[in-house]
Structure 1
Amino acid sequence: MSERTYEDNALREARRWVKQMEKRSSLLQRTSKRMQTAVNEKIPDRVHAVVTDSIKRMIELSLTSSHYIYPIEVDPSWSLKEREEAVQERLTQYKRTAALEGAGTGAGGIFLGMADFPLLLSIKMKFLFDVGRIYGYDVRKYEERMYLLHLFILAFSSDEKRQNVLKTVLNWEENKQGWREVDWKTLQLEYRDSIDFAKVLQLIPGFGAIVGAVANFRFLEKLGETATNAYRLRTLDREKPL
């Protein structure tokens, strides 16, 4: 497959992804959301506190430090195909790590299950920083770090929030100067609601190991799909006729 053909196919997939993101969630997903809201009221306050503090710390580290940046091999001359092969390789590694971490903490019940929140957040953010660098962007810049946070929000948001974030992400070059801060409180609520049901099941000793492994694997898969398609649209000419 030629590089032009690969880019055209990638662009088509990204546009299909946008249309899917613009659709309202299925009835099953909306029902699940209502169940999550009910479950939220039964989760111990200390669990909510762990999630809130973890997300606040994650945002602070993302915007102000090099905590998520470490050496990886990136060749500036790579084609889009080569870059995406590298992304998929990293995604496979991170999914494996997340699944093992989820199984380990899930097997330990509520206390180790609570420890899974900050660990999983760290894995997700390290993956996003890797993806940004592989696609050729300087993640040391504040606006690029803010872009990564928007990808994170986009991957784990409700219908209403997702539509607004999607518009921001798709028009980042025009919007990036206007984003100097993130509403971390809203972010933690959106993220918490998106993962609560699976994570509550993970707190059940024994059963939690299976749930933790599968849930973490799927969370990374969703994040990988979001990041890949967003960077495709940002990298390629969206006006290119297909």
Structure 2
Amino acid sequence: MEQSIKEKENLEQLRKKLRNIEKWEKNQKGLFFWEKIGRLPFVLLDKLTPKFIQEKIHILLDEIAKYIDNGGHYLVDNEKTLNKVKKELSLKEDVNLSDIQHFSFDSMEKTAEAFIRNRAKNAQVQGATTGFGGVFTLAVDIPLILGITLKTVQEVAVAYGYDPSKREERIFMIKCMQFTSSDIVGKKAILNELTNSSADEGFAQLQGWREVFATYRDNFGWKKLFQMIPVAGMIFGAYMNKAAIKDVGEVANMLYQKRRVLERIEQCSKVD
């Protein structure tokens, strides 16, 4: 395997990268005022949408529970994802998750960003399609964009050598989604859980996954407001879905990168 792919950073380089990630964390200002106000459309949706659409949303909530437990149909195929890593980095040999754990950060970031770009394009097309029908297809758009979101975060996990088939990783991914939609207080709490708790303690703090999803869904409020308009919703749906995937992709990229950086710093410290 190419030296540039497996090149290891020294301790100072790792600490510099950690400082950059922590700077990014401090710049997360939470939801903007109009994003909070924008949650109102979904309050109206709950009252105005037909019963069969609301029932589909409740079914979706049950599917998320299955995702946390066993991945369900949202679970990505690790082998196919690893082949995408191989193609993106122009590698001649097959790779596994253990190999990726030793990749340089430049290689891992390049792969993660490629995954995010591809999924964002998919979301853009899907948003335009479902936006055509206005409020009724908007209800269909929610589970579809959620599926793309989950697969995006899983691919980012693989890009950093983590296994989406493990339940603790799926919970970490839900936390990434929650972080995307939380205010500044919520973001700080999530970062504290993910950084300072042991794996079991941190994951045990995921309480009320339905609330996590509801928060994530409600964050679509103002972003989806104009998608309720038939035909014109195509334009807004395409833009907003692409932006949503890019946002959650950025969060997953930074949080998974931070985990890998901290692990390598610990390894270097033990050697020293």
TM-score by length of 1: 0.84
Match of 2:138 in 1: 113
Cα pair 2:66 2:72 within 8 Å, conserved: no
> 2:42 maps to which residue?
40
Distance 1:48 1:13 in 2: 43
- The equivalent residue for 2:203 is 179
Residue 121 of structure 2 corresponds to residue 96 of structure 1: yes
Is 2:19 aligned against 1:12? yes
2:223 match = 198
Amino acid at match of 1:82: S
Q: CA deviation at 1:135?
A: 0.6
Is 1:60 equivalent to 2:60 in the alignment?
no
In the superposition, relative to structure 1, how do residues 97 and 3 fare at CA in structure 2: closer, same or farther (>3 Å)? same
Match status 1:123 vs 2:148 = yes
8 Å contact from structure 1 (residues 170, 230) kept in 2: no
Report how far residue 225 of structure 1 moved. 1.1
Q: How many positions carry a matched residue from both structures?
A: 234
CA distance in 2, matches of 1:84, 1:52: 36
**Could you say if the C-alpha distance between residues 52 and 163 of structure 1 is closer, same or farther in structure 2, counting changes exceeding 3 Å?**
farther
Compute the displacement of 1:35 (Å): 4.3
Unaligned runs of 5+ residues in structure 2 are 86-94, 267-272
Q: 1:63 to 1:191 in 2, by over 3 A?
A: same
Change (3 A) 1:3 1:207: farther
Report the TM-score when normalising by structure 2. Answer: 0.75
Given residue 34 of structure 1, which amino acid in structure 2 is its aligned partner?
A: I
Contact 1:143 1:177 in 2 (8 A): no
Task: Give the CA deviation at 1:223.
Answer: 0.7
Match of residue 72, structure 1, among 81, 84, 90: 81
Q: Does the 8 Å CA contact 1:128/1:227 hold for their aligned counterparts? A: yes
Letter aligned with residue 57 of structure 1: E
> What's the % identity of the aligned pairs?
24
Alignment of 1:165-176 (within 5 A): 165-172=190-197, 174-176=198-200
Specify which of 217, 225, 230 is matched with residue 250 of structure 2: 225
Where do 1:133-152 residues align within 5 Å? 133-152=158-177
Question: Quick one: distance in 1 between partners of 2:59 and 2:16?
Answer: 41
> Cα deviation per residue 1:25-64 (whole Å; 9 max; x = unaligned)?
5xxx124413433x33322444665445424412422431
